[in-house]
C-alpha cells in the first residue's frame, strides 16, 4: 500500500470539506470557526514564530473601526483622556478575552486587535495564517484611580492557562499565544514579578499543561485594531458564544508577597479577594455572565 498516496488523498478530501464549510457559512461567526478548522488542516497553526524576513509585509492603510465601544460607549482608539492608561493582554481567542476585561469596573474601553509580530495593519485572515507573527490581543483603556494594573494582571493570569505555548485550548498556533504588552518600565517590572509569582503558584498546586509559563512580556509593541466585526463581538446580536480559554483555578498570590518594594504602594490592587471569588474567571470558560460592567462595590 502506498501510504503517502492514501494520506495525500485523505488530506485533499478534508480540504474540500473545509472549503465547503467556508462557502456554506451564513454568518461571520460560522465563517470564522470554519476558517480556523481549515487553517488547522492546512498547517497554519504555527508551533513556532515566523521570522521577520518571511512574514507578510502588510500595508499602510489602517483597518477602519467605529471609535465607540459597543458596551461602554467610550472611544476605542487613541488619543485617550490623559487620565487613562493603556495595556494590552493576550490569552488566546480575543473574543472571550475582551469580554472579561470590559466587564471590570474602571475599564473605559477595550478593543481587539493584533500585536507582537511584524506585519503592518494585518487582516484577520493574515494573522490566522501564522504568517504575521502577531497574536490576537485586547487593548485595555482604564482609569488608574478605579482599577490597578495589578488587577488587570490578576484577570490575565487567572483567565487562561499560560503554560500552553503556541495556543490556548482548542485554538493552536502562534496567533493564540499568551502575552502582556506594556509601555511603562514600571509595568514591565510588575508584570515580570507577577509571572514569577504565578508560575510558583501553578507549580505548588500541580496545575498547568506545561511546567513553565510561556507568556511573553514586551514593551513598545504596536497594537493594530482588528476588523469591525470582531470588536466587542460577544455583546453583539447574532454572536456565537465561543471560548477555548482554560483557566487553571489557581489564584495570583497576594500582591504584598511579590510586589517590587518601590512599587508596592503605588500599584496596590483595588479589588479584594471577595471580588474575585464572585466575579473572577470560572473553570472551562471566561465568557459567562452579562455584558454590562460589574458594579463594585455592590449597592
pLDDT tens-digit map of 146-192: 999 999 999 999 999 999 999 999 899 999 999 999 999 999 999 99
- pLDDT reported for residue 241: 85
- pLDDT reported for residue 147: 98
128 a catalytic residue: no
pLDDT above 90 covers what percent of the chain? 77
- pLDDT at residue 121 greater than cutoff 60: yes
- pLDDT reported for residue 285: 65
Q: Which residues of 120-150 are buried (b: 16+ CB within 10 A; e: fewer)?
A: eebbbebbbbbbbbbbbbbbbbbeeeebbbb
Using only C-alpha atoms, the chain has a radius of gyration, in whole angstroms, of 19
Which range, of 16-20, 81-85, 122-126, averages the lowest pLDDT?
16-20
- pLDDT reported for residue 289: 84
Catalytic residue among 93, 128, 243, 285: 93
Which range, of 46-60, 114-128, 259-273, averages the lowest pLDDT?
46-60
pLDDT band at 284 (very low <50, low <70, confident <90, very high): low
- pLDDT at residue 294 greater than cutoff 80: yes
Tell me the C-alpha distance between 67 and 69, whole Å: 7
Q: What is the dihedral of CA 20, 21, 23, 26, to 10 degrees?
A: 150
Predicted model pTM: 0.86
- pLDDT reported for residue 298: 87
- pLDDT reported for residue 10: 44
Task: Report the first-to-last Cα separation within the chain, whole angstroms.
Answer: 72
What average pLDDT does the structure give for the chain? 88
Computed from CA positions of residues 220, 226, 231, 234, in that sequence, does the dihedral angle turn out positive or negative?
A: negative
Q: Which of 189, 201, 178 is nearest to 254 (CA)?
A: 201
Amino acid at each position: 500500500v502506498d501510504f503517502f498516496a492514501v494520506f495525500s488523498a485523505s488530506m485533499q478530501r478534508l480540504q474540500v470539506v473545509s472549503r465547503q464549510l467556508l462557502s456554506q457559512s451564513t454568518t461571520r461567526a460560522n465563517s470564522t470557526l470554519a476558517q480556523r478548522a481549515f487553517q488547522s488542516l492546512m498547517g497554519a497553526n504555527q508551533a513556532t514564530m515566523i521570522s521577520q524576513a518571511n512574514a507578510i509585509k502588510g500595508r499602510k492603510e489602517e483597518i477602519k473601526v467605529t471609535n465607540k465601544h459597543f458596551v461602554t460607549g467610550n472611544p476605542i482608539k487613541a488619543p485617550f483622556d490623559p487620565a487613562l492608561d493603556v495595556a494590552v493582554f493576550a490569552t488566546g481567542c480575543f473574543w472571550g478575552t475582551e469580554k472579561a476585561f470590559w466587564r471590570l469596573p474602571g475599564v473605559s474601553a477595550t478593543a481587539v486587535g493584533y500585536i507582537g509580530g511584524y506585519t503592518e495593519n494585518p487582516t484577520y485572515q493574515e494573522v490566522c495564517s501564522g504568517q504575521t507573527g502577531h497574536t490576537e490581543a485586547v487593548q485595555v483603556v482604564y482609569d488608574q484611580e478605579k482599577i490597578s494594573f495589578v488587577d488587570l494582571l490578576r484577570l490575565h493570569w487567572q483567565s487562561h492557562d499560560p503554560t500552553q505555548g503556541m495556543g490556548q485550548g482548542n485554538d493552536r498556533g502562534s496567533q493564540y499565544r499568551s502575552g502582556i504588552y506594556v509601555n511603562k518600565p514600571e509595568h514591565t517590572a510588575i508584570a515580570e514579578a507577577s509571572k514569577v509569582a504565578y508560575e510558583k503558584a501553578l507549580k505548588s498546586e500541580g496545575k498547568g499543561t506545561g511546567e513553565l509559563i510561556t507568556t511573553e512580556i514586551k514593551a513598545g509593541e504596536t497594537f493594530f485594531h482588528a476588523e469591525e466585526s470582531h470588536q466587542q463581538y460577544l455583546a453583539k446580536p447574532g454572536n456565537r458564544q465561543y471560548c477555548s480559554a482554560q483557566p487553571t483555578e489557581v489564584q495570583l498570590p497576594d500582591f504584598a508577597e511579590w510586589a517590587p518594594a518601590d512599587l508596592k504602594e503605588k500599584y496596590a490592587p483595588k479589588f479584594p479577594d471577595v471580588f474575585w471569588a464572585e466575579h473572577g474567571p470560572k473553570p472551562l470558560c471566561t465568557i459567562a455572565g452579562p455584558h454590562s460592567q460589574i458594579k463594585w462595590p455592590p449597592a
